Amino acid sequence: MAGPKGDERAWVRGAQAGNASDFEALFRAHWPSAYRAAYLVVHDTAAAEDIAQEAFLAAVRNLDRFDRRRPFGPWLHRIVVNRAIDWSRRRALRGEVELHDAPVEADAADVGSETVAAMRRLSPEHRAVLVLRHLLGYTPGQIARLLELPRGTVNSRLRRGLDELREHL
């Protein structure tokens, strides 16, 4: 997550004025969490890189219109998670096997966590709310606003996602 809110607002203000070091500060503060959030939804390192990068390019394109009174992180994370869900849905819809797919177990071992491996078995929608709650630390109410979902839906996805995770662990 980013540093103090005051810093972040100053970085946004500076970036909007064309200050590269302020934009860089935003990038350094938020890119790792953007990548991790994307990875936990898509479970594909290249796609996660693309999605995190694309989120920052969207930030650049929309920087002039960004309301500097709002926090930057949730805005970025919303782009990341929605793109990641979209990517996962499309891949699932195609129902095809990537020729270079690594075995699930090998990939999971790479990220060093049984929980991360087990998350792969959940739907992208369930992964997304778990990532927002447990990686990025948003409250259910904030997640509901981020994803434009009813709060009850967020709560039920969180509950069901955690139940499924327990089954797989």
- Contacts with another protein by CB under 8 A lie at 15-18, 20, 23-24, 27-28, 31-32, 35-36, 39-40, 45-47, 49-54, 56-58, 60-61, 63-64, 83, 87, 90-91, 94, 96-100, 110-113, 115-116, 119, 130-131, 134-135
CB-based burial label for 15 (10 Å; 0-12, 13-18, 19+): buried
Give min distance, CB of 152 to another protein, in A: 22
Nearest 10 degrees: Cα torsion 35, 59, 78, 73 = 80
Give min distance, CB of 112 to another protein, in A: 6
Give min distance, CB of 111 to another protein, in A: 5
Q: Tokens representing 16?
A: 């909007």
Q: Which is nearer to another protein, 102 or 150 (CB)?
A: 102
Report how far residue 164's alpha carbon sits from residue 169's, in angstroms, rounded to the nearest whole number.
9
Closest CA to 7 of 22, 27, 28, 19: 22
Nearest 10 degrees: Cα torsion 101, 107, 52, 120 = 90
Q: Which is nearer to another protein, 29 or 150 (CB)?
A: 29
Report how far residue 68's alpha carbon sits from residue 49's, in angstroms, rounded to the nearest whole number.
26
Q: Which is nearer to another protein, 68 or 91 (CB)?
A: 91
Q: Which is nearer to another protein, 146 or 150 (CB)?
A: 146
Report how far residue 75's alpha carbon sits from residue 128's, in angstroms, rounded to the nearest whole number.
15
Dihedral angle sign, alpha carbons of residues 160, 106, 103, 99: positive
Give min distance, CB of 66 to another protein, in A: 12
Q: Which is nearer to another protein, 150 or 156 (CB)?
A: 156
Give min distance, CB of 69 to another protein, in A: 19
